[in-house]
Amino acid sequence: MTARLVVLASGNGSNLQAIIDACAATIDTVHQLDAQVVGVVSDKHEAFALHRAQCHNVETAVVGAKPHETRQQYDARLAQITGAWQPHIIVLAGFMRVLSNSFLSQFPKQVINIHPALPGQLPGTHAIERAFTEFTQGTRRETGVMVHFVPDEGIDNGPVIASQVVPIHVADTLSSLEVRVHATEHALIIDALQQLITQQKAPAS
Calpha distance 43→81 (Å, rounded)? 12
* Secondary structure (3-state) at 79: helix
How many whole angstroms from its chain centre is CA 52? Answer: 15
Radius of gyration of the chain (CA): 17
- Residue 68 known to be catalytic: no
Query: Which residue out of 115, 148, 182, 186 is catalytically annotated?
Result: 115
For residue 52, how many other CB atoms are within 10 A of its CB? 21
Calpha distance 124→122 (Å, rounded)? 6
How many whole angstroms from its chain centre is CA 113? Answer: 4
Which residues, other chains included, contact 9 with Cβ-Cβ below 8 Å and sequence gap of 6+?
15, 16, 40, 41, 42, 47, 49, 93, 94, 95
Calpha distance 14→183 (Å, rounded)? 9
How many whole angstroms from its chain centre is CA 135? Answer: 25
Calpha distance 51→54 (Å, rounded)? 5
> Which positions are annotated as active-site residues?
115
